Structure formats: C-alpha cells, structure tokens
Amino acid sequence: MKQNFTVRQGALDGVEVFLSVAQHRSFRRAAVELGVSPSAISQAIRVLEARVGAALLIRTTRSVGLTEAGERFLSRAKPAFEELVAASEVARGLGQRPAGLLRLSVPRAVVPTLLEPLIASFCKVYPEVELEIVASEKLVDLAAEGFDAGIRMGQFLAADMVAVRLTPPFRFVVVGSPAYLAGRGRPKHPDDLREHACLRIRRSNGALAPWSFNDNEHVIEIAVAGPLIANDFPTMLGAAIEGVGLAQVPAPVAAASIKAGTLVEVLDPFAPMTPGVFLYYPGRRQIMPKLRAFIDHVKSRSSVENKTQVRADGKPKRSAKKR
C-alpha cells in the first residue's frame, strides 16, 4: 500500500476561534478579540463542528452556550492549546535579548530592604528593559492586571505559582521604642500584650491580622488591640519608632532600626519563623527574557553581596573568626 506523504491540513483550524467563543459566550466579542468578522467566526465554528462530527455550541438569538460535547472538547482543548502557545513562545524567545516593560507587584516593605540595592544595577546592566515597581499590599491577579511577576512572603503564595526564593527564612519580631518600653514595661510573655498598645495591620481581604507566636513549638495567635491600624509594615514601623505602641514586623524590616537603637526587640523567645520572600509568576506562563534577566540578576547579586546578608533571625551575619 502506497504511503501518504501529505501532511493533513487543518487539524487545529477553528480551535482558537472556539476557545474565544466559549470564553466570551459571544460570537461578536470573539470576533473583536480575534480581529475578524462575526460571519468568519460562524464559518470557522461550522467547519470545526463538521470535522469533529458533533455540535459544540448552542446558539440562540440572545446567548451562546456549550453542548455536552462542547464542554468535553473545551476541557481537553483549552489546556492543550495553552501548552501549544507556550511552546511557540519558548521557541520565539530563544535568542531574543531582554527588552520591554517589566512590571512587578511588590509590598512597600521590600522596596528599601530588597529592591533598592538591585534597581540601579539592573537598569545599568539591562538598559533596554523598563522596570516598573508597583508598591501595594494587595494580592493582585498578575495576569489580569498586567504584571510579569510579583514579590510576596512565602505563606501568601498560591500553590499554582512558580516561586523563586529571594531571601532566607526570617523571624517576625515584636519591637517598641525605648521610650515606650520605659513607660509601659517590657512584655515577658505574649499574654502580657493585652496590657500594651499594639499596632495592627489590615490584610488585603479586609481582616485584621492577629499576632502569631511560637510557644514551645506550638503556634498561638493573639487578637491584640491598640491605637493604630495600618495596611503596610513601614507605616507600623514608623509609628513604633515614635512610641505609639508595639509592632510585629518582619525582622529584616526592623533590623536597621534595632541596630540604630531606635527600636528594641521584645518577646524574642516567642518569635515565629516565616518562609521568607519570593518572586513568583504564573506556572503556565513562559519566562520572557526580561523576567529571566531580572531573576538571574537577583541571584548573582545575592551571591556577590554575602557580606550584607542577614541571618534567618534577621540579624547581621558575623564574620568567621580567624584561628
């Protein structure tokens, strides 16, 4: 039997059109997204249904829905099509230099402690990349809001994100000004906080965050009270320095103030550990050269600047003594 050396044409014809119609539940909106006419969308769907051998869409004058066959087709075709698009992006990205706008969503606290030392050097090394830092405590949808990546503490990352470690694990510490502690006394146990003014933080979901502690390997949470509620750590830190009350903040955020003597750490034995800070991005998205360049730059700077690295407890590392 003679072999057929002709590649079958049209195996994927209409799939992108179908996925767009299924997403928007509209021929007209799919046409706008793909830049074609609604009649072209209808023709592509008819050809696809004929090739598949089943009706995929239910059309009325007011709405568009999926048949059972359409639902099953969508569940298999969508991830397969996304992988195909991702494969194309990988191939296209080979050999391309880092360029374009790199948008990062980051908490305010990491800007001075983590990003400021990196921004200038990164911009010098990669002049064709425009780096946009959007400082916000809000946990954003990266894809929906046009971000290439985000930076957050590990405990707040979704399971489907790819995470790149930026810092070692660190403690959450309770700090207060010398003047505040002189007037109110030093708490010895987390239960003592009920007698203290505690500065609280409101999470992006609107809830007030309790203070967490490690008591003999058991995590305890305390609903503290105090005169100030903020939505970021730098604001809490500044208020604590001014003697407004005690604050619980990441150790690296408070390290400089503790070293300068403007803040004093209390409840040290109960300080809980956190996973650290990570750069994260959607797992199914291809790492574009601009983002890969930023990740590699962060890693290279971290390895070179070991002298300024902090320990897991947030305190500066000491140089090893020479024997």
How do residues 80-94 score in pLDDT, each as one tens digit?
888 888 877 766 654
Q: Residue 136: its pLDDT value, please?
A: 83
Q: Residue 139: its pLDDT value, please?
A: 79
- Side by side, which strands form the sheet with 161-165? 129-135, 100-106, 149-153, 277-282, 161-165
For the chain, the straight-line distance linking the first and the last C-alpha, in angstroms and rounded, comes to 83
Q: Residue 117: its pLDDT value, please?
A: 76
Band of residue 300 on the pLDDT scale cut at 50, 70, 90:
confident
In whole angstroms, what is the distance from residue 315 CA to residue 20 CA? 53
Q: Residue 10: its pLDDT value, please?
A: 61
Residue 195 has pLDDT above 50, yes or no: yes
> Given this chain, do its domains 100-167+276-308 and 170-274 carry the same CATH topology?
yes
**170-274 has which fold?**
D-Maltodextrin-Binding Protein; domain 2 (3.40.190)
Query: For residue 180, what is the enclosing H or E element?
Result: helix 178-184
**Domain spans of the chain?**
15-93, 100-167+276-308, 170-274
Residue 224 has pLDDT above 90, yes or no: yes
Q: Residue 90: its pLDDT value, please?
A: 63
Residue 316 has pLDDT above 60, yes or no: no
- CATH 3.40.190.10 assigned to domain 100-167+276-308? The reply is yes
In whole angstroms, what is the distance from residue 293 CA to residue 131 CA? 12
pTM over 0.85: no
Q: Which residues contact residue 171 at a Cβ distance below 8 angstroms, ignoring those fewer than 6 apart?
A: 250, 251, 271, 272, 273, 274, 312, 313, 314
Q: What does the pLDDT average to over 94-122? A: 81
Beta strands, E only, the chain: 57-59, 64-66, 100-106, 129-135, 149-153, 161-165, 170-176, 198-201, 211-215, 218-222, 229-230, 246-250, 264-266, 273-274, 277-282
Residue 56 has pLDDT above 60, yes or no: yes
Mean residue pLDDT across the chain:
83
Q: What does the pLDDT average to over 279-306? A: 76
Residue 16 has pLDDT above 50, yes or no: yes
Residue with the bigger pLDDT between 258 and 137: it is 258
How do residues 142-153 score in pLDDT, each as one tens digit?
888 889 999 988
Give 221's strand partners: 212
Which residue shows structure tokens 């991702």? 86
Q: Residue 309: its pLDDT value, please?
A: 39
CA 144 to chain centre: 13
Lowest-pLDDT range of 96-110, 216-230, 299-313? 299-313
What are residue 149's phi and psi, to 5 degrees?
-165, 170
Residue 76 has pLDDT above 80, yes or no: yes
Q: Which CATH number fits domain 15-93: 1.10.10.10, 1.10.287.3510, 3.40.50.2300, 3.30.70.270?
A: 1.10.10.10
> Where on the phi/psi map is residue 249: left (φ > 0), alpha (ψ -120 to 50), or beta?
beta
How do residues 247-279 score in pLDDT, each as one tens digit?
999 999 999 999 999 999 999 999 999 988 888
Given a contact cutoff of 8 angstroms between Cβ atoms, the answer to whether 143 and 285 are in contact is yes
